[in-house]
């Protein structure tokens, strides 16, 4: 009954999306009432709100089915198991293709409903066009779900037990990783709808940028958290000791993030200075395109990975068709309308806008490099040449644009809008540029490390100091929240960059076969294999090593890496063990048994590696603070306007001309 | 650093043009760089018979895929170095790998080794990718000779 209810709600929601699109089209081409947002066009907002409720109901139904482990439902039977802990039962709802698409659609519908409910700043027609675009995008996903990925399909005969969830995915990280990325993707779809709406009605204004910005900020913060969490998950779950592999699946999440970062900064220019109009629209289209390309790469089965839940060519073609329709349509619209978007305000090269243009260009270049590197193996495969593209390509080529961008990041926030004078910022700029040069030379002479980590470390110092410069000489209590957000996010970039560089430069790896009782040195650590014993969990058995580790002769800490065997489904994984200090982590992996009663151990001392993720968290926190600052600022302004209108209607002579 | 001279002397319209040209140049440069680096840095995939007929440069990063021959797997005295032979029914390439082998790495199973060819004809692997489960098989193994496909299918459906 619950499954049928969920499916019915989904069909109704799809029908409402159809109504929403129809009403929006009538509103855009109609005259009289419709053109003013009344009549049929007046249905757009209510349709969006009801659609959101129905989608939430449908997703709730699926959650309930998983919580109860209803084995008469195909999706539950293939992805869950009655013996699983509750949190993993719930996480299994989106740990598969159908459920994750339903989550996507639900979040999208909820966003549309929220916009319809609260957003009043845009012109009526732009609003109608935006919600129409939102419904158009939504309809594609409804069709995808209902025709090729029905999450509520029943089994003819209920099975006795479910097949379980891939053990690699049975992890607390999973409960958060996909939803955060989806919130990010969906946020970018909202930005896309706003861009299409503004383009359709030719209303590319600072007000449009202010309306779109919270969605971009939110999407960007979620993507940042999603990527950070995904990186940490790969780090400790895969047991390979790295935090970024340039795997196509990782790139699929990085590309929308790069585009969103550029969009965020260009939207700021548009909101503050009414410049970069067409460029901001273009980035809105590109950012959503990257989310769709990412989804296509990950879900079509064109890449084999832990993310390709269902290798089904039909689904791949479906996503590809959606991608072509949305992106192709948006680009055609852009080509037709871009020349009618009036030129924005002008600015000089040495200005905040100028620095942000450099940021945008560098981010776009990096995006292009990552996209090419990700698609290249797929292209050559069409010619039957199989290649893989990895760090030797991405690191140096990306760095050519990334490192200069970091320099501009250090200096840019000090610049004034529109036009700045070199004399004003000369000393701080020279300081910020000279510091990394001096550091690089100093570090390069005293330590023997590779060029890229060396430059990364040197630049991180510059970025850290530069990021704090906007606070200089200001009363900290008066600094707006949005500025704090910028400062914290930029500081987070410095922290992450330092962590990446320091780990790359200084990590120490030991690979040994050790007898019980034997002691091994790894960097400053001395590690003793105390014992190896069998252990059992709720759905796995394992052998577990007990290691006694001491940092630089300090107190002894225990570490317990495991080699686990899951039995539903049967699979072996190795569980690494981590000892965290403020200045890094000891990462240990237990391998198999070697000849002569020895056990294989892989030990890494990874200095400052945790800073990679601390930085990611800071960046996301900065985004969240900026979002709160912007939204609360908007709310204040709205209340002030409401008061003004009240006073005016009360005939207050002093308020004839409110600002 | 010559920005003040530049900005002082130029009309706003020209500054806009300069920015646009700079952006265009940067994007084109990125494209050319990427294309050049992809030709040089992409690591090609070989099966043993290709590697024997047309070996890659020594030391260049490539990938080798095939079946771990039965009876060829042995460990060295240090307990963490593995020697085995990867074959595709036509040719055989000796491989040496130092590290912890993946969970499903056994004789007779498919493997993709990342590494490079040494002067003596041994393939030095930095990393081994083995079949994690039926849903996570190195992509290259999907396109092997019919013989190997049969073998792989037989394994997967066991």
Q: Return the HEC string of B77-130.
A: CCCCEEEEEEECCCCEEEEEEECCCCCCCCCCCEEEEEEEECCCCCEEEEEEEE
**CA distance to partner chain B, nearest, from residue A141 (Å):** 25
Tokens 């089994």: give the residue: A155
**Confidence band (pLDDT; 50, 70, 90) for A297?**
confident
Facing residue for A349 by CB, picked from B18, B138, B142: B18
> Pseudo-torsion of CA A397, A182, A573, B152, nearest 10°?
-80
Q: CA angle A636-A640-A644, nearest 5°? A: 170
Output the DSSP codes for A5-24: HHHHHHHHHHHHHHHHHHHH
Q: CA angle A426-A427-A430, nearest 5°? A: 85
Tokens 């009414």: give the residue: A274
Q: According to the 3-state scheme, what is the secondary structure of A606-633?
A: EECCHHHHHHHHHHHHHHHHHHHHHHHH
What does the pLDDT look like over A344-402, one tens digit per residue?
A: 788 888 888 889 999 999 999 999 999 999 989 888 877 777 788 888 899 999 999 99
Q: Look up residue A285 and give its two tokens.
A: 């289209």
Integer Cα distance of A478 and A642 in angstroms: 25
Output the DSSP codes for A150-201: -TTPBPSS--SS-----GGG-SHHHHHHHHHHHHHHHHHHHHHHHHHHHHHT
Which pLDDT does position A173 carry in this prediction? 66
> Pseudo-torsion of CA A417, A422, A428, A434, nearest 10°?
120
SS3 of residue A573 by DSSP: strand
What mean pLDDT, rounded, does chain A reach? Answer: 88
A426, A350 in Cβ contact below 8 A?
Answer: no
pLDDT, average across residues A177-203: 90
End-to-end Cα separation, chain B, in angstroms = 68
A223, A619 in Cβ contact below 8 A?
Answer: no
Cβ–Cβ below 8 Å for B42 and A376: yes
Integer Cα distance of B30 and A258 in angstroms: 15
Cα A628 to its chain centre, rounded Å, is: 18
Report chain B residues whose CB lies below 8 A from the CB of A574.
100, 103
Report chain A residues whose CB lies below 8 A from the CB of B13.
346
> Pseudo-torsion of CA A493, A499, A501, A504, nearest 10°?
-150
Which pLDDT does position B155 carry in this prediction? 45
Facing residue for A304 by CB, picked from B44, B79, B136: B136
**Confidence band (pLDDT; 50, 70, 90) for A241?**
confident
More confident residue, A447 or A561: A561
Give me the residues paired with residue A73 across strands. A154
Integer Cα distance of A81 and A68 in angstroms: 10
Which pLDDT does position A627 carry in this prediction? 96
Lowest mean pLDDT among A77-91, A308-322, A512-526, A567-581: A308-322
Cα A613 to its chain centre, rounded Å, is: 14
> Does the interface ipTM go beyond 0.85?
no
pLDDT, average across residues B61-79: 87
Which pLDDT does position B1 carry in this prediction? 38
Report chain B residues whose CB lies below 8 A from the CB of A571.
103, 132-133
What does the pLDDT look like over A616-638, one tens digit per residue?
A: 999 999 999 999 999 998 888 88
Residues in CB range of A432: below 8 A, 6 or more apart: A407, A410, A411, A462, A465, A466
Give me the residues paired with residue A579 across strands. A586
Which pLDDT does position A306 carry in this prediction? 45
**Confidence band (pLDDT; 50, 70, 90) for A314?**
confident
What does the pLDDT look like over B85-108, one tens digit per residue?
A: 998 878 899 999 998 887 667 787
Which pLDDT does position A151 carry in this prediction? 92
Which pLDDT does position A568 carry in this prediction? 62
Which pLDDT does position A176 carry in this prediction? 76
B26, B75 in Cβ contact below 8 A?
Answer: no
Provide φ and ψ at A534, rounded to 5°. -80, 145
Integer Cα distance of A511 and A509 in angstroms: 7
Cβ–Cβ below 8 Å for B45 and A387: yes
Give me the residues paired with residue A578 across strands. A587
**Confidence band (pLDDT; 50, 70, 90) for A596?**
confident
Facing residue for B75 by CB, picked from A373, A569, A595: A595
Q: How many CB atoms lie within 10 A of CB B87?
A: 19
Facing residue for A513 by CB, picked from B31, B78, B103: B78
| Nearest chain B residue to A396, by CA | B37
Asked whether residue B143 carries a pLDDT value surpassing 60, the answer given is no
Cβ–Cβ below 8 Å for A348 and B79: no
Which pLDDT does position A514 carry in this prediction? 92
End-to-end Cα separation, chain A, in angstroms = 57
Integer Cα distance of A54 and A50 in angstroms: 6
Report chain B residues whose CB lies below 8 A from the CB of A369.
30, 33-34
Which pLDDT does position A169 carry in this prediction? 61
Please tell me if residue B61 touches chain A, with a CB cutoff of 8 Å. yes
Integer Cα distance of B122 and B76 in angstroms: 15
Cβ–Cβ below 8 Å for A372 and B35: yes
Percent of chain A with pLDDT over 90: 52
Cβ–Cβ below 8 Å for A397 and B33: yes
Share of chain A residues as helix, strand and coil, in percent rounded to the nearest 5: 65, 10, 20
Please tell me if residue B81 touches chain A, with a CB cutoff of 8 Å. no
Q: Look up residue A528 and give its two tokens.
A: 């003793």
Provide φ and ψ at A550, rounded to 5°. -135, 130
Please tell me if residue B21 touches chain A, with a CB cutoff of 8 Å. no
Check whether B136 is labelled as a binding-site residue.
Answer: yes
What are the contacts of A4-9 at 24+ separation with CB within 8 A?
A4/A152, A5/A57, A5/A61, A6/A57, A6/A58, A6/A59, A6/A60, A6/A61, A6/A62, A6/A65, A6/A151, A6/A152, A7/A58, A7/A150, A7/A152, A9/A54, A9/A55, A9/A57, A9/A58, A9/A61
**CA distance to partner chain A, nearest, from residue B137 (Å):** 7
- Interface probe for A, chosen from B18, B27, B33 (most Cβ of A below 10 Å), is B33
> Pseudo-torsion of CA A222, A227, A231, A234, nearest 10°?
90
* Ranges A302-306, A607-611, B145-149, most confident: A607-611
Percent of chain B with pLDDT over 90: 19
Q: Which residues of A268-288 are buried (b: 16+ CB within 10 A; e: fewer)?
A: bbbbbbbbbbbbbbbbbbbbb
Among A187, A134, A135, A154, residue whose Cα is nearest residue A70: A154
Q: Whole-model pTM?
A: 0.89
Which pLDDT does position A302 carry in this prediction? 66
Cβ–Cβ below 8 Å for B4 and A421: yes
Percent of chain A with pLDDT over 70: 93
SS3 of residue A572 by DSSP: strand
Cα A601 to its chain centre, rounded Å, is: 34
Cβ–Cβ below 8 Å for A389 and B103: no
């Amino acid at each position: 009954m619950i499954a049928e209810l969920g499916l019915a709600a989904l069909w109704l929601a799809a029908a409402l999306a159809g109504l929403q699109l129809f009403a929006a089209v009538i509103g855009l081409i109609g005259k009289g009432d419709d053109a003013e947002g009344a009549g049929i066009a007046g249905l757009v907002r209510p349709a969006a709100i009801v659609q959101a409720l129905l989608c939430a109901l449908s997703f709730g139904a699926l959650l309930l089915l998983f919580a109860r482990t209803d084995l008469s439902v195909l999706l539950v039977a293939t992805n869950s198991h009655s013996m699983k802990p509750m949190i993993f039962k719930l996480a299994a709802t989106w740990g598969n293709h159908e459920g994750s698409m339903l989550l996507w659609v639900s979040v999208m519908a909820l966003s549309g409903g929220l916009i319809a409910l609260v957003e009043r700043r845009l012109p009526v027609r732009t609003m109608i066009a935006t919600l129409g675009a939102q419904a158009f995008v939504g309809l594609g996903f409804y069709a995808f779900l209902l025709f090729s990925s029905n999450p509520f399909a029943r089994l003819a005969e209920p099975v006795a037990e479910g097949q379980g969830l891939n053990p690699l995915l049975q992890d607390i990280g999973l409960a958060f990783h996909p939803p955060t990325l989806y919130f990010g993707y969906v946020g970018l779809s909202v930005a896309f709808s706003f861009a299409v709406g503004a383009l359709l009605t030719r209303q590319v204004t600072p007000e449009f940028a202010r309306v779109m910005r919270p969605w971009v900020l939110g999407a960007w913060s979620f993507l940042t958290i999603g990527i950070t969490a995904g990186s940490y998950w790969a780090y400790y779950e895969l047991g390979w000791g790295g935090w970024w592999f340039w795997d196509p699946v990782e790139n699929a999440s990085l590309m929308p993030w790069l585009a969103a970062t550029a969009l965020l900064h260009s939207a700021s220019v548009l909101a503050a200075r009414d410049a970069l109009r067409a460029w901001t629209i273009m980035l809105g289209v590109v950012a959503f395109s990257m989310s769709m390309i990412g989804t296509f790469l990950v879900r079509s089965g064109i890449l084999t990975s832990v993310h390709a839940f269902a290798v089904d060519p039909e689904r791949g073609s479906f996503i590809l068709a959606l991608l072509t329709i949305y992106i192709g349509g948006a680009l055609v619209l852009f080509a037709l309308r871009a020349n009618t978007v009036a030129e924005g305000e002008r600015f000089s090269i040495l200005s905040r806008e100028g620095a942000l243009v450099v940021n945008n260009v560098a981010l776009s270049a990096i995006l292009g490099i990552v996209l090419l590197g990700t698609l290249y193996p797929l292209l050559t495969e069409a010619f039957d040449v199989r290649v893989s593209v990895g760090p030797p390509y991405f690191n140096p080529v990306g760095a050519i644009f990334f490192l200069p961008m970091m320099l501009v990041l250090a200096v840019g926030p000090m610049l004034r809008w529109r036009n700045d004078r070199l004399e004003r910022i000369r000393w701080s700029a020279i300081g910020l540029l000279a510091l990394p040069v001096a550091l690089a030379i100093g570090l390069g002479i005293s330590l023997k490390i590779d060029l890229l980590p060396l430059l990364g470390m040197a630049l991180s110092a510059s970025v850290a100091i530069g990021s704090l410069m906007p606070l200089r000489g200001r009363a900290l209590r008066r600094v707006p929240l949005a500025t704090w957000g910028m400062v914290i996010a930029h500081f987070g970039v410095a922290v992450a960059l330092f962590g990446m560089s320091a780990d790359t430069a200084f990590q120490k790896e030991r690979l040994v076969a050790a007898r019980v009782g034997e002691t091994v040195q790894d960097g400053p650590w001395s590690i003793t294999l105390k014992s190896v014993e069998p252990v059992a969990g709720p759905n796995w058995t394992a052998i577990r090593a007990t290691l006694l580790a001491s940092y630089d002769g300090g107190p002894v800490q225990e570490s317990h890496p495991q080699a686990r065997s899951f039995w539903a489904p049967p699979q072996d994984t190795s569980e690494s063990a981590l000892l965290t200090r403020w200045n890094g982590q000891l990462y240990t992996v237990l391998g198999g048994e070697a000849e002569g009663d020895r056990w294989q151990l892989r030990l890494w001392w990874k200095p400052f590696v945790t800073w990679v993720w601390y930085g990611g968290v800071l960046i996301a926190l900065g985004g969240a603070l900026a979002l709160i600052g912007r939204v609360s600022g908007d709310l204040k302004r709205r209340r002030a306007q409401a008061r003004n209108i009240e006073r005016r209607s009360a005939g207050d002579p002093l308020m004839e001309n409110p600002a | 650093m010559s920005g003040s001279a530049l900005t002082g002397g130029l009309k706003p319209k020209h500054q806009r043009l300069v920015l646009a040209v700079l952006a265009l140049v940067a994007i084109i440069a990125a494209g050319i760089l990427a294309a050049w680096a992809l030709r040089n840095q992409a690591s090609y995939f070989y099966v043993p018979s290709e590697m024997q007929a047309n070996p890659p440069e020594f030391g260049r990063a490539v990938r080798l895929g095939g079946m771990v021959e039965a009876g060829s797997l042995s460990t060295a005295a240090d307990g963490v170095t593995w020697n085995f032979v990867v074959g595709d029914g036509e040719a055989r390439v000796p491989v040496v790998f130092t590290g912890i082998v993946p969970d499903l790495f056994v004789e007779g199973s498919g493997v993709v080794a990342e590494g490079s060819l040494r002067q003596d004809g041994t393939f030095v692997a930095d990393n081994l990718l083995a079949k994690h489960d039926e849903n996570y098989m190195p992509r290259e193994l999907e396109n092997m000779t019919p013989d190997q496909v049969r073998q792989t299918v037989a394994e997967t459906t066991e």
